[in-house]
Amino acid sequence: MQHTTPPVPLTLASRVDQVFPMLTPEQSARLAVHGQVRSVQRGEVLMEAGEQTPRFFVVTAGHLVIAQPAGVTEDPVAVLHPGQFTGEITMLSGRRGFVRIRAGEPGAVIEVERQHVLALVQTDSELSEILLRAFLLRRVELMAHGVSDVVLVGSRHSAGTLRIQEFLTRNGHPYSTIDLDRDADVQALLDRFQVTVDDVPVVICRGEVVLRNPTNGQLADCLGFNEAMDHTQVRDLVIVGAGPAGLSAAVYSASEGLDVLMLETHAPGGQAGSSSKIENYLGFPTGISGQELATRAYTQAQKFGAHLLIAQSAARLACDRKPYAIEIDHGPRVLARTIIIATGAAYRRLALTNLAQFEGVGVYYGATFVEAQVCGGEEVIVVGGGNSAGQAAVFLAQTARRVHILIRAGGLAASMSRYLIQRIAETPAIVLRPHTEITALEGGDHLERVRWRDNRTGTSETHAIRHVFAMTGAVPNTHWLQGCVALDAHGFIKTGADLSPEELAAARWPLARGPHLLETSLPGVFAVGDVRGGNIKRVASAVGEGSIAVAFVHQVLHE
């Protein structure tokens, strides 16, 4: 059995000084005020892998060994010397840690409870910067080296494997993989345990639980993503959807002292999280990947105390009661004084009868690093003439042999930004095919051939292309609201001045004042980002709306 991403000691990592910074005696003393100094014995385990609420240690004498338990032995990850400290992102999220912390020799540490670390990163800006940078970089290193409590046994040709890879990657959870297509021994082992094709991928979670083709929710439960969350509390604000709009609302509301809970079906970042590079977001002249933006924003929201429930979808809003109640799919309900709806919109699907057969195994709705790996060196099709299609084409052209952009229109000028049109024109590997649409998909377990038609000539051609990226617009995620708020003709949520007196009367608007900017026809319930009627479909506008809505949430809470 061979791990494709073997653990590598983090001490070999680049940027060692930033990943394992050394605190000055003054900085250590400031931490000691919030904890206790204690001695440690050689071999003493200060924290075991899988512990729920991580504690934080600064070495003051001797050394600590950070290791990943591997049966009766352990794989070393790092060694910390005096002035260096433990911890990574789980310190903020409160999730289970996945390394063991052991004293390598007799010595001493400053031990600080998690809640004191959380308070400190909000009040001590110098320590906050050092700690948060180290926590983030450590997670990046753990991800890069697959140091984790998850082993994914799967195949590149299985949609389930791709789904779980994306779920873990976008939730920033490291994992190592075993590729069944390359490792015949593992396939033989799975056969012996009667693991069938439908059971793939198999996930070994926290080194002990074996899950066969789990749902994202089952995996989230196993990894303890949503543990330590009080569901009975009435929150000042519940945010539904953790895309840029929801994350922005979380950062602003939590930093302004509100008690905030976010619900998210998949992973922080939303559509933007699947963007390979966002080049027009203010302050990032060389661009930033959607994944990185999402990770930073989520860390920021956690730093201020916002909570996030992962793989938990809002299934229904009980709007005839106060506080409002949001029922969660396969979960408890949560109670809220105010709500921000930031559920965005879902991709429009291609009108092809056998589309579902190839979704995830040849048809994709996002072009991230994961998909780019899968179709490296091959020909691919991008369908659509908007900016997301343009970005996907430019990104995929870096690894694909040829990228065909299929559009029904005669050109891109009306639908795509000029800089992208120019990028496409300058990239020889990209071929633009106007007036063209896909008419058939063919294949078995995986997409193998695509037929397209030139609508001007009526001629059809079949090509041996195994990857299609559908980037053709979106429909709003408002089905769960079931009549609670007024929608426009396309199902997007109407807010503020867009609501007519007739619509407000029909909604029985009860207040003397009219709806605030971004407020829906239900008092105290706001809609922001791509789910809102008249939205701008930009990360910046989604982020801006999230912050504006919070200003009005305060007003509603004081009414």
In the complex, which residues of this chain contact ligand FAD (CB under 6 A)?
A: 240-246, 263-266, 270-272, 274-275, 278-280, 313-314, 342-345, 366, 387-388, 391, 477, 480, 529-530, 537-540, 542
Complex with ligand FAD: residue 58 or 345, whichever CB lies closer: 345
For 171-204, the DSSP string reads: TT---EEEETTT-HHHHHHHHHTT--GGGPSEEE
Complex with ligand FAD: residue 389 or 447, whichever CB lies closer: 389
> For residue 55, how many C-alpha atoms fall within 13 Å in the half-sphere facing its CB?
17
In the three-class reduction of DSSP (H, G, I as helix; E, B as strand; rest coil), residue 69 is classed as strand
CA–CA separation, 222 and 295 (whole Å): 21
Identity of residue 494: K
Q: What is the DSSP letter of 348?
A: P
- State the minimum distance, in angstroms, from the CB of residue 110 to ligand FAD: 38
CA–CA separation, 425 and 174 (whole Å): 38
Q: Find the largest Cα–Cα distance for the chain.
A: 81
- State the minimum distance, in angstroms, from the CB of residue 488 to ligand FAD: 16
- State the minimum distance, in angstroms, from the CB of residue 240 to ligand FAD: 5
Which H or E element spans position 37?
strand 36-40
Complex with ligand FAD: residue 86 or 171, whichever CB lies closer: 171
- State the minimum distance, in angstroms, from the CB of residue 542 to ligand FAD: 4
- State the minimum distance, in angstroms, from the CB of residue 200 to ligand FAD: 25
For the chain, how far is it from start to end, CA to CA, in angstroms?
63
For 482-531, the DSSP string reads: TTSS-B-TTSPBP-GGGS-HHHHHHTT--SSSPPPTTB-SSTTEEE-GGG
| Apex 510 CA angle, 509 and 512, nearest 5 | 105
- State the minimum distance, in angstroms, from the CB of residue 243 to ligand FAD: 2
- Cα R_g (the chain), whole angstroms: 25
Complex with ligand FAD: residue 84 or 477, whichever CB lies closer: 477
> By the 8 A CB rule, do 452 and 436 touch?
yes
- State the minimum distance, in angstroms, from the CB of residue 89 to ligand FAD: 19
- Here the tokens at position 238 are 């519940």
- State the minimum distance, in angstroms, from the CB of residue 375 to ligand FAD: 16
Complex with ligand FAD: residue 145 or 266, whichever CB lies closer: 266
Complex with ligand FAD: residue 84 or 313, whichever CB lies closer: 313
Complex with ligand FAD: residue 76 or 287, whichever CB lies closer: 287
- State the minimum distance, in angstroms, from the CB of residue 529 to ligand FAD: 2
- State the minimum distance, in angstroms, from the CB of residue 328 to ligand FAD: 8
Complex with ligand FAD: residue 221 or 264, whichever CB lies closer: 264
Complex with ligand FAD: residue 97 or 243, whichever CB lies closer: 243
- State the minimum distance, in angstroms, from the CB of residue 322 to ligand FAD: 21
> By the 8 A CB rule, do 328 and 310 touch?
no
Please identify which residue in the block is written with the tokens 């004081």. Answer: 558
For 271-326, the DSSP string reads: HHHT-S-B-SSTT-TT-B-HHHHHHHHHHHHHHTT-EEEET--EEEEE-SSSSEEE
- Here the tokens at position 438 are 């896909």
- State the minimum distance, in angstroms, from the CB of residue 155 to ligand FAD: 25
- State the minimum distance, in angstroms, from the CB of residue 342 to ligand FAD: 5
CA–CA separation, 417 and 428 (whole Å): 19
Complex with ligand FAD: residue 263 or 485, whichever CB lies closer: 263
- Cβ neighbors of 184 (< 8 A, separation 6 or more) are none
528 phi and psi angles, rounded to 5 deg: -135, 155
Of 379, 366, 317, 438, give the one whose Cα is nearest residue 162. Answer: 366
Beta bridge mates, 346? 475
Complex with ligand FAD: residue 134 or 250, whichever CB lies closer: 250
> For residue 501, how many C-alpha atoms fall within 13 Å in the half-sphere facing its CB?
1
Which H or E element spans position 341?
strand 333-341
Complex with ligand FAD: residue 177 or 343, whichever CB lies closer: 343
Complex with ligand FAD: residue 449 or 538, whichever CB lies closer: 538
